[in-house]
Every structure is written in structure tokens, then in C-alpha cells.
Amino acid sequence: MTDPLFTRIRTSFDASPMLATLGARLTEVAEGRVEIRAPILPGSRQQQGFGHAGLSFTIGDTAAGYAALTRAPAGHEVVTVEIKINLLAPAMGDELVATGHLVRAGRSLSVVTAEVVAMTGDRAKTVALLQGTMMPVPL
């Protein structure tokens, strides 16, 4: 049997060409929590060779948004109303892992956070923190 919550998030995730371009993978889904992993590919590096902040932002925003979607009403998606990022360290490693959390689900707005860590083998280093607001929208 397939988990309906995972199927809901997976269906939306698979519809995003940008996530496919970045090589991002949906790796965990639970109510109020979503994890996304993306390799630090040559095309997603900045001029000094680190993972580009845009990669951290994209997968952090997406993980946070999908965390909100786990509690959104049926027949709705979510969109980002606003989100901020604090870059804490260069994104050096093999891949980035973004874990999004739903802090509070409201009727019209949800507050979310995400942490992005860079993985080198089994070593993890936090490279970014995000906090934002998501809004459910009818499909």
C-alpha cells in the first residue's frame, strides 16, 4: 500500500522541471516534515566552486513548502508568500540535504522553516537556515 501523504507530495514534486534539472530527490515525507536531497553538480556551483546559494534556497524553499502541503486542504497546493535565508557556511560537499518543517498551519497562511546541510560522506555541516510563510491555493 502506498502512503497517500507521500503520493500527494511526490505527485507535486515530480511536476517540477527545475527540481529534475537540479537532480533533486524527495527522500522523506511525514506530516509537517519533508526532506529533499540534491547533488552539488558542476552546473549548480558558483564561481569559487561551492554549491550556489540558489541551490540551497531552491531545495530549502521546496522542502519547507512541501512540509506545509502535508497539512494543506485537499485540492490545494501551496505557494511561497515570503521566505528568508541565512547562509551560514559555504556549501562544500557531495550533496545538500534540506529538511523542511511546518511550524504552524493556519487557514490562510502557514509558517515554515528549513535547514540545509552539506554532506561529505557521512559528515554533515549546516550551510543555511530558512524561515517563511506559505499560502494554500486551490488547484
pLDDT band at 2 (very low <50, low <70, confident <90, very high): confident
Instruction: Flag whether the pTM goes above 0.85.
Output: yes
Q: How much of the chain, in percent, has pLDDT values that exceed 70?
A: 99
Spatial contact of 127 and 93, defined as CB atoms under 8 Å apart: no
For residue 121, the one-letter residue type is G
Question: Rounded to whole angstroms, how far apart are CA atoms 130 and 68?
Answer: 14
Model pLDDT for residues 15-69, shown as the tens digit of each residue: 999 999 999 999 999 999 999 999 999 999 999 999 999 999 999 999 999 999 9
